[in-house]
Amino acid sequence: VPELPEVETVARQLAPLLRGCVLRRIEVLDPLLRAARRNLPCGRVVRNVTREGKQVAILLRAHGSRRIVHRLLCHLRMTGRLLWLPRGDASRDTRHLRARLVFDRGRLLFIDPRRFGTLRVLRGACAAGSGVDPTTRAFTPPALARLLAGSRQELKPWLLRQDRLVGLGNIYASEILFAARLDPRRRAGTLGPAETRRLWRATRRVLARAIACRGTTFSDFGDAGGRPGGFQRRLAVYGREHEACRRCGRPVRRIVQQGRSTFCCTSCQQGTRPGTDVAP
Ligand SMILES: [Zn+2]
């Protein structure tokens, strides 16, 4: 089953191929696919291909504008995949073809033997996740500092907001704050420059490791059912209440923030007071 890391990989592969392409038409071959047949965004230009949760998102803009007017969202589910054929590629369309997105520079085929995948056309930019994707180059320490500035929210719930950083869930938020040695209850807007940098680096590292682990699980197990992700075994704090902190040996604690569990080591993750930022 393609999970976040695999979808991330697909989006990253498609982005450079599709960016700037003009969408000519969408040919839906499978009646199960209820891709909106009205308001089809033809003539739009691909601005980017990204990931929205576990879906591949093809972002479309109008000519001469950077504003995203439509998104094509593809959920691959069990067996779906997206295959790009550049114009002039003589390859015959494969079996299990459910939809064909025809662009000026090629065709994107949505192939899905078990037909659980979905393809949707939505208007406008992502409503919930218009924030910065922490796996992209747009995510820099200054960008993070700008997002944090002025926020009175506690760090852990702040990380879960999808309008600042997109894609972080409950597990990664706890892991990232542990790796950054930051108290999850700190107010987001009080981080100094060195702490912001630690948070930035921890976010990058934890996500990269998680993505690498899922990938490993995939190639090792091969079958779609095996979901004991490699990252589960590497969790530092999440789900480890009362167990020994991997850094200091004291027990990991579970606290509740906005109705959700946060796992942390209150010894390693002591909140530095505002204005007493420590050197890296
Ligand atoms: Zn500790």
Instruction: Report the alpha-carbon distance of residue 66 to residue 44 in Å, rounded.
Output: 11
Residue 222's pLDDT is 29
* Contact (Cβ atoms closer than 8 angstroms) between residue 80 and residue 110: yes
Is residue 260 among the annotated active site residues? Answer: yes
From the list 161, 216, 152, the residue with the least C-alpha distance to 188 is: 152
CA 253 to ligand 1 centroid distance, Å = 10
Instruction: Report the alpha-carbon distance of residue 109 to residue 256 in Å, rounded.
Output: 45
Catalytic residue among 3, 157, 205, 241: 3
CA 248 to ligand 1 centroid distance, Å = 4
Is residue 113 among the annotated active site residues? Answer: no
Is residue 5 among the annotated active site residues? Answer: no
Q: What are the backbone dihedrals phi and psi of residue 40, each rounded to the nearest 5 degrees, phi first? A: -65, 135
Structure letter (DSSP) for residue 251:
B
Residue 171 CA to chain centroid, in angstroms?
A: 14
Q: Three-state secondary structure along 154-214?
A: EHHHHHHCCCCECCCCHHHHHHHHHHCCCCCCCEHHHCCHHHHHHHHHHHHHHHHHHHHHH
**What average pLDDT does the segment 102-116 reach?**
92
Is residue 134 among the annotated active site residues? Answer: no
End-to-end alpha carbon distance in the chain: 40
One-character DSSP codes across 106-171: EEEEEE-TT---EEEEEESS-SS--SB-TTSTT--HHHHHHHHTT--SBHHHHHH-TTTB-S--HH
Q: What is the pLDDT of residues 182-220, one digit of tens each?
A: 999 999 999 999 999 999 999 999 888 877 764 333 333
Residue 275's pLDDT is 44
Residue 197's pLDDT is 98
Residue 265's pLDDT is 96
Burial class of 67 by CB neighbour count within 10 A (0 to 12, 13 to 18, 19+) = exposed
pLDDT at 228 over 90: no
Q: What is the pLDDT of residues 36-86, one digit of tens each?
A: 556 677 899 999 998 887 789 999 999 989 899 999 999 887 788 888 999
Instruction: Report the alpha-carbon distance of residue 40 to residue 212 in Å, rounded.
Output: 37
Residues in the chain: 280
Q: Does pTM top 0.85 for this prediction? A: no
37-51, 172-186, 220-234, 262-276: the lowest-pLDDT one: 220-234
Burial class of 221 by CB neighbour count within 10 A (0 to 12, 13 to 18, 19+) = middle
Residue 124's pLDDT is 83
Residue 251 CA to chain centroid, in angstroms?
A: 31
**What average pLDDT does the segment 140-157 reach?**
96
Catalytic residue among 100, 246, 253, 260: 260
Q: Strand 23-28 relative to strand 97-103: parallel, antiparallel, unpaired?
A: antiparallel
- CB atoms within 5 A of ion ligand 1 belong to 245, 247-248, 265, 267-268
Instruction: Report the alpha-carbon distance of residue 55 to residue 37 in Å, rounded.
Output: 20
CA 209 to ligand 1 centroid distance, Å = 20
Residues 6+ apart with CB under 8 A from 272: 186, 192, 195, 278
pLDDT at 162 over 60: yes
